[in-house]
Amino acid sequence: MIVTFSQPSSLLTLIPNSPWHLCLGHPGIHILKSLVLKTDDSDPCDICVKGKMTHLPFKSHFSGTKMPLDSNQHGFVHSVAPPYTPEHNGIAERASCKILDKARCLLLTSNLPNQYWAEAINTATYLTNVIPTPSKRNLSPYQLWSNNSPRINKIRIFGCKAIFLIPKQKRLWKLGPLGEEGILLGINNDSSYRILKISDEKVYCSRHVTFFEKEFPLSKESKDSDLPLLIPSWNNHEEEFFDCQEGPEDLTCGSSSIRRRRRPI
């Protein structure tokens, strides 16, 4: 199923807990309505309520008895902002807040450790650039920059189960498994995916991946399983690239060589 931004009347009905709502990083209901013909907002997303609780920027006439009585049921916190502080509504702070809200929801959905906050921030930034912006005629920043529609059919749910292909050069023996199980950490340069292998805590970059978007290895239901405990450390954190190798100017896929990167100590 492919959804394009140039045709918002796609015959698709989205609900807040639908796969596309999770794939796009828990966007607001107004963004979902700009993508599809019909949107059901009767069932709110509990992750959105937890990850996007905000202070209401109401004017003074809402500070009295006219405040809506059902605000607590929607996850709102009524707080009066101090006067003469225009930076509270600054464009830069609002953009940063939007990315942080998405990243927070991604971590809550995937149950990944907080040490992987950078992966969630990178994915949230990518999603912000490819979903439409109501103030820009429902065009995405990617469209405004490149005049091309983003390939959102490549987006998968952050933190879901993923099995990536093991290169022939890395297989232990001829009759061994051809794939390894991991956790999706996002898209790498729009040509491959970043997969976290649970057993060795390495990040692999591969474009040959099969996703199971209804399964989350680190979800609450999987805590009693035999999955090892993830305690990432920047000292031994490595990235191993299977299918792609960065050249001096572009990214060339299909190479069989392996390149490892370590963070500076």
**pLDDT tens by residue, 32-58:** 666 654 555 556 676 666 666 665 554
In the block, tokens 């390894």 appear at 180
State the DSSP H helix or E strand holding residue 31, giving kind and residue range, or none if neither: helix 29-35
Q: Per residue in 211-220, pLDDT tens?
A: 998 888 887 6
Query: Which structural domain, as residue segments, surrounds residue 214?
Result: 161-262
What number is the average pLDDT over the span 175-190?
87
Same domain, 38 and 129: yes
Residue 191 phi, psi dihedral angles, 5° rounding: -130, -15
| Confidence (pTM) | 0.58
Do 65 and 185 belong to one domain?
A: no
Tokens representing 56?
Answer: 């209401």
Which one of 154, 184, 205 terminates a domain?
Answer: 154
> Can you tell me the distance from the alpha carbon of 246 to that of 264, in angstroms, rounded to the nearest whole number?
19
Same-domain pairing of 138 and 195? no
Domain count, the chain: 2
Q: Are residues 172 and 131 part of one domain?
A: no
Shared domain check, 41 and 15: yes
Q: Which of 132, 154, 176 marks a domain boundary?
A: 154
123: how many CB neighbours lie within 10 A of its CB? 24
143 and 213 fall within a common domain: no
Residue 4 lies in a domain: no
Helical (H) or strand (E) element with 238: strand 238-241
For residues 67 and 145, membership in a common domain is answered with yes
Distance CA 208, CA 76 (A): 42
Whether residue 60 lies inside any domain: the answer is: yes
User: Do 120 and 165 fall within a single domain?
Assistant: no
| Torsion angle (degrees, nearest 10) of CA 255, 165, 234, 226 | -170
Instruction: Reply yes or no on whether the pLDDT at 121 is more than 90.
Output: yes
- Looking at the fold, whether 44 and 91 belong to one and the same domain comes out as yes
CA distances from 149 to 16, 140, 152 (A): 24, 8, 9
How far apart are the C-alpha atoms of 45 and 26, rounded to whole Å?
A: 8
